[in-house]
Amino acid sequence: MRVAFFSTKKYDQDFFEQTNESFGHELRFFETSLNKHTASLAEGFEAVCVFVNDALDAKTISKLADFDIKLIALRCAGFNNVDLEAAAQNKIKVVRVPSYSPQAVAEHAVALILTLNRKTHKAYNRVRENNFSLEKLTGFNIYGKSVGVIGTGIIGACFAKIMLGFGCEVFAFDVKPNDELKDRGVHYVELEQLLQEADIISLHCPLNEQTHHLMDRNAFEQMKSGAMLINTGRGALIDTTAVVEALKQEKLGYLGIDVYEQESGLFFNDRSETINNDDDFLRLMSFPNVLITGHQGFFTKEALEQIAEVSLKNLSDFEAGNELENEVKA
């Protein structure tokens, strides 16, 4: 198939070209993101391959249909950036990569916890300046703490198992409890109880109408004072205005995020020589107890290999008329 890749970096091209040697698709890579203004780049192709910040709204999809695009291949698990009803109306199939090294994201969530807690990022900078003071570097033991996991799909389950290994008491909230986690000692509770009891809360749920701004002012009011919040899921799970207020009032003790509500156009790019006009982001960066990484939770060799393998197989299955096991429907 002739496939137009959007929002690509050199690492995308390297992994996809290497993996494509066994598939034989015709691939073209564009650094620009896909939206209604750039959809014309898809002309002459049969499919598009997109990432988390490409905007596939109804107008973009309509333009893709005008160019006879038959397939939208997401090289990620989330699909909240795709208007699935518009895709169905235009007879465009949508596929995704539902699981790619879930350990990568789960382990990154743990890295955020440990870094925020033991302040290793600050200690690193101090030592480079010959400052070996331990002042203001006090942390706490992870062992024995209560950890809340919101969303126990594949990634959330991996995270929960890691925290059990740390000797934590793990609480979970999900509309579909995981029996294996129950057997391992994870306590499924209502969201309100989880918010009230957890010392550390990690978000691993998908973004949809029910979870949009799940962590709002009301949620922060219910949390323990000084608790830690980690988000490696989707940025809009957290109400940015509410979390800034919770930090200002010192209700929230720590915030670690790998995703941001307004990350589109910001993350995945070198903006070191530009002015950041996002006041909310700048406010978050001003807090000493906030740690932000640029959506790198997925970024391991194993995950990139799996993303390329599954994405190209999705394309081959569509081309051959096979059943699309990773299809997403409205």
Residue 8: CB atoms within 10 A of its CB come to: 22
Q: Could you identify the residue written with the tokens 């990022």?
A: 121
List 295, 305, 323, 327, catalytic entry: 295
Residue 234 among the catalytic residues:
yes
Contact residues for 271 (Cβ-Cβ < 8 A; gap 6+): none
List 26, 263, 271, 323, catalytic entry: 263
List 46, 75, 234, 261, catalytic entry: 234
Phi first, then psi, for residue 139 (nearest 5°) are -115, -160
Tokens at 100, concatenated: 């790619």
Using alpha carbons, list the distances in angstroms from residue 263 to 106, 186, 230, 307: 20, 33, 16, 21
Q: Could you identify the residue written with the tokens 């137009």?
A: 4
Q: Are 71 and 42 in contact (CB under 8 A)?
A: no
Q: Are 330 and 90 in contact (CB under 8 A)?
A: no
Using alpha carbons, list the distances in angstroms from residue 121 to 26, 148, 282, 288: 43, 24, 19, 11
CA distance 174 to 112: 22
DSSP string, 117-181: HHTHHHHHHHHHTT----TT------TT-EEEEE--SHHHHHHHHHHHHTT-EEEEE-SS--HHH
Residue 263 among the catalytic residues:
yes
Q: Are 113 and 230 in contact (CB under 8 A)?
A: yes
The residues annotated as belonging to the active site are: 234, 263, 295
